[in-house]
Amino acid sequence: MVDEVLSDRASDDAIDVSRSIQRETGVTFHVATRFLPERVRVPTYVLYAFFREADEIVDDPDPPAPEIRRERLAKMRAAAHGDRPPESPVLDAFGDLSDRHGFTERDIEAFFDAMARDVDPSDFADYDALDEYLRGSAVAVGNMMCAVMDRDDPETLDHARALAEAFQLTNFLRDVREDVVDFDRVYLPESALAAEGLTPDDVRRLADSPALRAVIRSELRRTERRYRHGVDGIANLPDDCQFAVLAAAVLYAEHHRLIRAQSCDVVSSRPTLSMPRRLWVVAKTRLSWSRHGDPRTVFDRVSAVPAAPEDSPPGGLRSRLADLSRAIATRSRRVLSRLGVRSSDDR
């Protein structure tokens, strides 16, 4: 089956290495990836390993001079575009995926531009600057995943953009302390900090304060709006991919529960999901999925993200009607898909 997913260019060794990289360095994502069908699961291993190889150039624990890291990124960028021979089995496998699924030069460029920015980090002035960074570090990744799932319609890509951004923003909130200590980076925009009388240097001092907690609470809410919009598009994905993506969303959002349990103090310690907690989150998501079969309904019921206010009026009647409406729409799309008919929502 693997030879139907990747050509002979991608050796079994490349796939094994990619799987190991994801299992060891991206445990939360690895748990969700295992629920994907093989035709998507194997490419996902390769994509993750490819992104990780770039990360390791930028985030080397014993980093060489910036010009050396920029040179290594430039070589990897050229190989990703097919302009020079790949220097690793993972990069070769990525090239095969790119040829098969038509990854765009724009997405590849955006990704490497974001990586290059991290070599010489500077603070983000505002949300526009942060969103530009997310275009490469998150949205390009989501676009490639959609390509592997054979989904490229504008609606699905719009929802995928929001979900990819939400994942990355959660990472930023979880890793505030680690990013300062290890890389001297602050991903909280200056404008958001200034609203509470803070600067990026205040974050670098790793001093907890009511003002910083207020910023984190605000950023949690902003990120959660993107989760809701992103999850609304999961129903557009292939049936056998939906649960895996939903599980990833619920798992990543679980960090928000941990952050709130720490009263939004993210500079004293890093909130971390234990493996038993990950498995519990997946189990309750699976149970709810078996009962409801609609991504947004399940997400609202089991995730750490509060339902949108308009979905939770007094008495909950509108919420239940919304759940029912979404479930009917999702099941209708599945029936039409099995019959080979595209719904009006897909056109």
pLDDT digits (tens, 9 = 90+) for 197-243: 999 999 999 999 999 999 999 999 999 999 999 999 999 999 999 99
**Cα Rg of the chain, angstroms:** 20
Q: Is residue 121 within 8 Å of residue 98, measured between CB atoms? A: no
pLDDT at 40: 98
Residue 211 CA: distances (Å) to CA of 70, 208, 265: 36, 8, 11
Q: Decide if 50 contacts 94 (C-beta within 8 A).
A: yes
pLDDT tens-place string over residues 301-342: 999 999 876 554 444 445 555 555 555 555 555 544 554 544
Q: Write down the pLDDT at residue 337.
A: 52
What is the end-to-end Cα distance of the chain in Å, rounded? 31
Q: How far are the Cα atoms of 197, 198, 205, 219, 266 from residue 210, in angstroms, in the given order?
A: 11, 11, 15, 14, 12
Mean pLDDT along residues 21-36:
96
The mean predicted confidence, pLDDT, of the chain is 90
